[in-house]
Each structure stands twice: as structure tokens, then as C-alpha cells.
Structure 1
Amino acid sequence: MSSEATTQPIQQLSRRGLRLAGLVVAVVLVAVVATGLVTRATQASSLKSWTQEQAVPTVKIIMPEPGKSGPVLDLPGRLEAYIRAPIYAQVGGYLKDWKTDIGTPVKAGQLLGEISTPEIDQQLLQARADLASAKANADLAGITAKRWQAMLGSDSVAQQDVDQRTGDYAAKVALMKAAQANVDRLEATKAFARIVAPFDGVVTARDTDVGALINAGGGTGPELFVVSDTHKLRVYVQVPQSYGPSIHPGSGAVLVVPEYPGREFHAQVVASANAINAVSGTTLVQLQVDNADGKLMPGSFAHVHFNLPVDATALRVPASALIFDNAGLRVATVGAGDKVAFKKVSILYDYGKTVEIGSGLSPGDHVIDSPPDGIQDGDTVKIASNDDAAKLHEKA
């Protein structure tokens, strides 16, 4: 009896333990399942939030800035002597000799060459003989007139005869003056047989030689010599119409010539045509450059760089901020609520890495640099911090 009584409580305790263990296991399983469900819900929520954040593009913002320096206008130019004088013969004959060759520095009045003029020499001899004859006739007429004037006081001659002698003397004096003028003319013409430099300069051309037949005539015959003043040079540039108002007398420019690579020559604008060529759409601008060392040569070609003034109203942005599509040239800006707003712009000057915007932007606009593909007007964007901007720059 005692053993049976003892066995029964033990069995009851075993059943209770099993139920308790089962209950604990069930509670643990429920807790594990609940924890898994909560974790999955949390992860799903985090994934959704992360996905939504990733769906909003991160952009780098820049502010338009006014230009610190103006654009550089590069145009071809032509160098010319400050003064250039082609010298022609004013008398005919044969070239007796020449004294200076090309490249020779000369002074004003220095002899360049001499023309042999036998025909003028003979004309001058004849004119001088005519002058001597006219002078002799005038002297005789003068003496006769004085004698008749003296006889008029004694009433031995008529007044009419005295007047005739006096008139004859006046006519002979006039003929003498005409003969003198003819001699002076021929002597002046003979002086042109000596070809001299009109000013200090350099002989830049000699198109004649000893024994060559010289024909008189300014500008119709060939040039005998060309004398050029090259201590300064004139530079002529055709400037496009749109840049004409920006280039005025007093503006500076830099010249670069092929024969001196890497060397710059400074010039200054001295005159403008103030008129537009209807064919080329340009205006002629004249500059002046110092050439005391004689390095620059008249007639040569040069690149002329104009530093144009800064436009205070123009703003500069990186070229990477531009969007060009079927809607035209635009930039993307970030407005209120971090919403994208496109603005149409026009380019004033293109500097390569940056561009100068002529219209469409304001100084306070937040411009998106390198806007993502597919971005639309009204899209929400996230403005990158400094670290994010650096990462975006590295990706770009």
C-alpha cells in the first residue's frame, strides 16, 4: 500500500513538470516568433525609409558669381609702318647712281639716288640765255624811258612818245620776270634729280638700278624707293560688330607674332573707324605699338589679344551645370521645399570650364552642378553636405 501511494504522487509531479516544460517551450516559441516578426517589420520599415531616401537624388549646389576678369578677344592683325612713303621720280632721265640699299637707316634729306637729266640741263641753259636777253632789253628800255622823260621837261617831245617809251619799259620788265620765273622753274625741276629721304626712317624697298630709264610722274610710274618710319608701328584689326563698343581709344592689347613665340608686345588702341563694313560685319580698329628695338616688321601678321572689360551684370557658372536638350539651354536650380526649377539661360562668353551667363540667372539662385540624368522640373532633391559634395566630385 505504501509503495502505490508513493508512486502516484510522483506520476502527478511528472505530468505537472511536462505541462510546465511544454508551457515554457510554447512561451519561448511565441516570444521567438514575435521577436522575428517585430524585427522583420522594423527591417522592412527601415528598408522602405532607406529606399525612399535613396530615391531622392543628392545634388551639389553652387552659387553664380560675377566674373573677376573680362573675356579675351583673339583676332588677326596686320602690322604697318607708322609712316610709309613710296618715292617716285618727278623728272625723267636715267638713274645715275643710288646711295642706299634696303635696310639702310636714313635721315631726313639724305641722298638716296641721283637722276641724270641732260634734257632739263639744256632747257635750263636756254632759259638762262632768254633771261639774259630779257634783262638786257629791259635795261635798254629803262634807259630810253628815262631820257624821254627828261626831254619832256623841255617840251622837245610829245607826252604820247614818253608814254610809249615808259610802257615799253614796263613790258620789257615783265618779260624779264617771266624769263626769271622760267629759270626758277627749271632749277626747281632740276633739284628733283636728287632723290632724298623725306624723313628719318629705313629704306624698305629699292626698285631701280643704275642706268634704268626713269619716267616722271607721281604715282604712275614704278616706285624707286620706299622709306618707312618703323620706330612705331600701326596695327590694323577688323573687330566684329558685337565687340566694337568694348574697344575704344585708350584700350590696351597684347600682340603675339610667329617669329617670336612666347614673347608679348603691348599695344594701345588709338583710333576706330566708327563704321561697320557691310560685307564683313566688322569695324576697323587702329592700334600703336612701340618698335624702338626694330624687332617687329611692317607688313607682318600678328595675333591681337584684347582684354575686354568685365560685365557687372553677367554671372559665371561651371560648364557642367548646363543642360542642353529639346527644351533648349537651361540650368537646374533648387527652390523652395528643395524642389527643382529649370531656368532658360543664354551664354555671353564661353571660357571652357566656366561660362558667363548673359540672362536667365540671378545672383541668389542655387544652381545644381552636374544635374543627374532624368531629373525633372518639380522633383525633390537632397542638398549634399560638404562630405557628400566631395564624394560626388570624386564620382564625377
Structure 2
Amino acid sequence: MIQIQNISRLSCQLAITTGVAFFTLALSGCNSNKGPKNLADQEAHEEISYAALRVNTSQPVRELNLPGELESFYETDLFPRVSSYISKMHVDIGDQVSKGQVLAELEAPELIANLTAAYSKVKAAEAVFGASKAAFRRAMKTRQTPGAISEMDVDAARTKVISDSLTVVAEEAHYQSVKQLADYLKIVAPFAGMVTDRRLSPGAFVGPGGQNALPILKIRQLDRLRLRLAVPEAYLGDIKVGTDVSFSVSTFRSESFTGKIARVSNSVRPDTRSEMIEIDISNPKRRLKPGMFVSAKLPVTAVEGSIYVPQSAVVSNLERTFVIKVEQGRARWVDVQKGDATAGQVQIFGNIAQGDTILRAANEDIAMDEPIKIDLSAMNP
């Protein structure tokens, strides 16, 4: 019995000793693995190289790509000037019209009645004026005989003539105003163009003004278009009237069209810091349509001695804007100011000179004075 207890005690001690040994080996194994792993990470970190470039000053002539939209040189919605009904429609969508052509006719019986009444009043006033004028002539002739007519009667006849003549003028003016309103019953084309929209049909009641008023027709000039572009403030010095501007549209991708700068607004918009310009485009074959999206190329010239770097080389945060300059194998943060940007390049101003080496893709994770390696093969010539 005692022998069995000794054997059990010995087995228990052996198990405890074996467990401690395994725990010690496992702990030492973990510690031994952590050292080589950290060392490998450190070596990998030290082997990282960053793409860099040498700064060059240049005065490149390049093109500024600007989006835009084609517009008709002239376009207008035709509204009725008087309350009336549409009687006839002489044109429809897609019809080419000439200036002064009658497009639609309206009906307004009350207006025609007013016109007739106004004309009758003019004729009545003219008749009264004719009678008073004849009476005045007789009075002046009778005056030649001494004592045949008093001066009071002559003055009264003169006053009657003047009053009746003014009545004729007033009635004529009223008639012309009514006649002008009656002329609005014919809708005519204000310029040569094409009907691009028709909202109403014969029998519809139309009237002037009001939020619910609909235009009868829309006319656009298609043989001459205009393109409006918003030019950034940095390039306003390159804008000159008469400069050729090329552009393309998605409908004709293989073709390029040209126009000339015709008008400059001479006012910079404070919200966009840009100036609006207009380009006249001749479109005799009417291939281009108003509303087409345009990608225009405006020739511009950089300022002499300007330094342009990739936009990825400039870091901006709440405190500063900088590039990372490499000097004697260490990173230096150099504060800069941004200028104009185009085609992935940005103009910078600061303590950066031609020949300096900067990182092509800078970031805030690279600390100041941190040792850094650069990839010489990635530097520009």
C-alpha cells in the first residue's frame, strides 16, 4: 500500500515538472520569435524608398481644358400680349422660319370691337374739327369787315379749333394703341431660326403674364451659336478678343471645331473667382445643337520662371501647406503657397529653387528630419 502511494506521488511530481518545462519552452519560443520579426520589420522599413523629382522652372505653352454648353445666339419664347384664343397655327416643331413670318393667329372679338369703336371716335373727332376749322375761317374772313363780328366771337372760334384739334390727336393716339394690341393677334418671328418647341394648339386660351403662362412657341437661331466659358482668375491675362478656341463634342468625337472669343464680361465672379467669356461659332450646316456639352481648349501661357510640381507633391492641412524636400538624405518640410492648377500640375511659391529634390507623393507620416531614401530612377531628367 505504501509502495503504491509513493508511485502516485512520483507520477504527480513528474507531471508537474513536465508542464513547467513545456510552459518555459513555449514562453522562450514566443520571445525568440518576437525578436526576429521586429528586426525584419525594421529592415523592411529601412529599405523603403520614395519616388522623387528635381524641380525645374519653365514657361510652357499649354491648353486649359474647360467644360461648357452650346447656346443659340438668339433664342426666345413667344408669349401672347393680349388675352385671346389661338385661331391658327402655321408652324410646328422643326420648321425653319424667316424674320417677320406669321407663325400663329389669335382671336379676340372684344379687342376688334374696341378697335372699331376707337376708329369711329377718330373719324367723329376729325369731323368736329373740320367744322370748327371752317367756322374759324369764316370768322376771320368776316373780321375783315369792321363791326361785322366781335373779337370775342373770333377768340371763341379760335379756342374751339384748338380744342377740337387736340381731341383728334387724343383719339388718334387711343386708336393706335388699340390697333397695336390688335396687331399682337398675329404672332410673328422676331428673327430667322427654327421652331424647337410648341406647347399649345388651336382653341387654347392664352393671356399675358402670370406664373402659369405658357409660351406658344420657342424659336432658336441654329446657324450661329455661342459658347460661354468660365475662365479661372489666374488665366485672365491670357484672354484676348479674337483668340481661336478649339472644342469637341461627344456626338462627333473624331472632329474638332473652332470659334473665336467675341466678348469678355470684364467682371470676376466672387463665388467662383472666374470671368465669363463668350465664343461665337458659325454653324451653317446646323450640325451642332444648342445644349450640347462641350470640352473646350483655351491656349494659355504660364508665368515666366514658374515652378510646377505634381499635385500629389503638395500637402495641405489646417496648419500649413508644404512639400517635402530631401537634403542630405533627410526630409525637410518646406512651406509653400499654391498658384494655378491644371492637368495634374500645381504652381507653387516658396523656398524651393530649380534643382531641388522633392518627393513626388508627400504625406504627413514622413516626419521632419527623418532619414529617407529616394528612388533615383523615378526622378525626372
Shared fold by TM > 0.5? Answer: yes
Q: SS of the residue aligned with 1:100?
A: coil
Query: What per-residue deviation string (whole Å, max 9, x for no partner) do you get for residues 315-348 of structure 1?
Result: 467999x698xx96334468xxxx9896848576
Match of 2:267 in 1: 274
CA gap of 1:367–1:182, structure 2 versus 1, over 3 A, is closer
Measure how far apart 1:215 and its partner are.
0.9
CA gap of 1:71–1:360, structure 2 versus 1, over 3 A, is farther
Q: SS of the residue aligned with 2:91?
A: coil
CA gap of 1:197–1:218, structure 2 versus 1, over 3 A, is farther
> 1:333–1:368: 8 Å Cα contact kept in structure 2?
no
Match of 2:104 in 1: 113
Match of 2:274 in 1: 283
> 2:63–2:297: 8 Å Cα contact kept in structure 1?
yes
Match of 2:119 in 1: 128
Residue 86 (structure 1) aligned with residue 81 (structure 2): no
Superposed, which structure 2 residues align to 1:367-378 within 5 Å? none
Give the Cα–Cα distance (whole angstroms) in 2 for the partners of residues 135 and 61 of structure 1: 96
Q: SS of the residue aligned with 1:96?
A: strand
> 2:265–2:276: 8 Å Cα contact kept in structure 1?
yes
The range that moved more, 207-216 or 261-270, is 261-270
Equivalent residue in structure 2 for 1:168, among 160, 163, 171: 160
Equivalent residue in structure 2 for 1:210, among 185, 202, 205: 202
Residue 139 (structure 1) aligned with residue 130 (structure 2): yes
Give the Cα–Cα distance (whole angstroms) in 2 for the partners of residues 272 and 158 of structure 1: 72
Superposed, which structure 2 residues align to 1:213-228 within 5 Å? 213-217=205-209, 221-228=213-220
Superposed, which structure 2 residues align to 1:225-304 within 5 Å? 225-240=217-232, 243-246=234-237, 248-250=239-241, 251-269=243-261, 270-278=263-271, 281-292=272-283, 293-304=285-296
Q: SS of the residue aligned with 1:183?
A: helix
> 1:343–1:360: 8 Å Cα contact kept in structure 2?
no
Superposed, which structure 2 residues align to 1:1-396 within 5 Å? 64-67=55-58, 69-70=60-61, 72-154=63-145, 155-217=147-209, 221-240=213-232, 243-246=234-237, 248-250=239-241, 251-269=243-261, 270-278=263-271, 281-292=272-283, 293-315=285-307, 329-332=323-326, 344=334, 349=341, 358-363=349-354
Match of 1:55 in 2: none
Q: SS of the residue aligned with 2:240?
A: coil
Measure how far apart 1:160 and its partner are.
0.9
Measure how far apart 1:312 and its partner are.
2.4
Over aligned residues, Cα RMSD in angstroms?
4.4
**Percentage of pairs with the same residue:** 20
CA gap of 1:157–1:315, structure 2 versus 1, over 3 A, is closer
**5+ long unaligned stretches in structure 1:** 1-59, 382-388
CA gap of 1:249–1:206, structure 2 versus 1, over 3 A, is farther
CA gap of 1:282–1:157, structure 2 versus 1, over 3 A, is same
The range that moved more, 151-160 or 242-251, is 242-251
Q: SS of the residue aligned with 1:274?
A: strand
Give the Cα–Cα distance (whole angstroms) in 1 for the partners of residues 166 and 343 of structure 2: 80
Match of 1:37 in 2: none
Q: SS of the residue aligned with 1:186?
A: helix
**5+ long unaligned stretches in structure 2:** 1-50
Query: What per-residue deviation string (whole Å, max 9, x for no partner) do you get for residues 331-366 of structure 1?
Result: 4468xxxx98968485765756x8866554434558
Query: What per-residue deviation string (whole Å, max 9, x for no partner) do you get for residues 250-291 of structure 1?
Result: 45543332322343333444313522333xx33242231414
Measure how far apart 1:73 and its partner are.
3.6
CA gap of 1:67–1:294, structure 2 versus 1, over 3 A, is farther
Give the Cα–Cα distance (whole angstroms) in 1 for the partners of residues 118 and 96 of structure 2: 38
> 2:78–2:216: 8 Å Cα contact kept in structure 1?
yes
* One-letter amino acid matched to 2:323: L
Q: SS of the residue aligned with 2:94?
A: coil
Give the Cα–Cα distance (whole angstroms) in 1 for the partners of residues 179 and 335 of structure 2: 76
Give the Cα–Cα distance (whole angstroms) in 1 for the partners of residues 311 and 119 of structure 2: 86
* One-letter amino acid matched to 1:100: V
> 2:59–2:304: 8 Å Cα contact kept in structure 1?
no
> 1:345–1:357: 8 Å Cα contact kept in structure 2?
no
Give the Cα–Cα distance (whole angstroms) in 2 for the partners of residues 276 and 128 of structure 1: 54
Q: SS of the residue aligned with 2:117?
A: helix
Give the Cα–Cα distance (whole angstroms) in 1 for the partners of residues 228 and 153 of structure 2: 74
Measure how far apart 1:313 and its partner are.
0.9
TM-score, with length taken from structure 2: 0.67
CA gap of 1:312–1:127, structure 2 versus 1, over 3 A, is same
